[in-house]
Amino acid sequence: MPSATPTEALVPAELIERRIYFIRGRKVMVDADLAGLYQVQTKALNQAVRRNRERFPADFMFQLTEEEAEALRSQFVTSNAVTSNGSRGGRRYKPFVFTEHGVGMLSSVLNSPRAVQMNIQIIRTFIRMREMLAAQQDLAARVDEIESTQQVHASVIDSLAEEIQEMKRLPEPSHRRIGFHPN
């Protein structure tokens, strides 16, 4: 199956972008979101990861703390209520999150065509976000440069305005007539 081009995306890029979070200084995706994109159960995704744990070091994947999980839950307002069939909603364990490299590694443990295509799309989204961040940093640097130049110009203008005010305070020179004056 040929790789999907951005125009043939399986899901809109914005949908993926909304599922990328910044946790512990890293851009990550939650296991349940990835499972939804791959169209597999979260349990199946996590089992595949557990069977291949050596492929997922701490910089590829980590489990959220209770506080991080709670902060993430409050963003989506997930329910923990009893469902109609008597089971409780919500998760029973803290979610795992995957960095960009962890998402790339998932394609080696989830071999479905959908998983491979989704991985390509997710990696492209991470790359695009990194490029946008770099462009924003470049723009911020230019704005800082303009602001510092503006501050220099403002101080020069202030100095000139003070000198003009000082000149206005000097007494007017007396106008003596020049030349021969007969009394």
Query: What phi and psi, each to the nearest 5 degrees, are found at residue 172?
Result: -70, 135
Distance of alpha carbon 63 from alpha carbon 61, whole angstroms: 7
Q: Is residue 95 part of a domain?
A: yes
pLDDT of residue 60: 92
Q: What is the CATH number of the domain that holds 13?
A: 3.10.260
**Exposure string over 13-35, b if 16+ CB within 10 A, otherwise e:** eeebeebbbebeeebbbbbbbbb
- Is a pLDDT exceeding 80 seen at residue 179? no
Q: Is residue 154 part of a domain?
A: no
Structurally, the chain folds into a number of domains equal to 1
Distance of alpha carbon 156 from alpha carbon 21, whole angstroms: 45
Bridge-based pairing state of the strands 96-98 and 20-23? unpaired
Q: Is residue 175 part of a domain?
A: no
Range of the structural domain that residue 19 is part of: 7-78+90-131
pLDDT digits 0-9 by tens, 7-37: 456 778 788 888 888 889 888 999 999 998 8
pLDDT digits 0-9 by tens, 121-164: 888 888 888 888 878 877 777 888 888 888 888 888 888 888 88
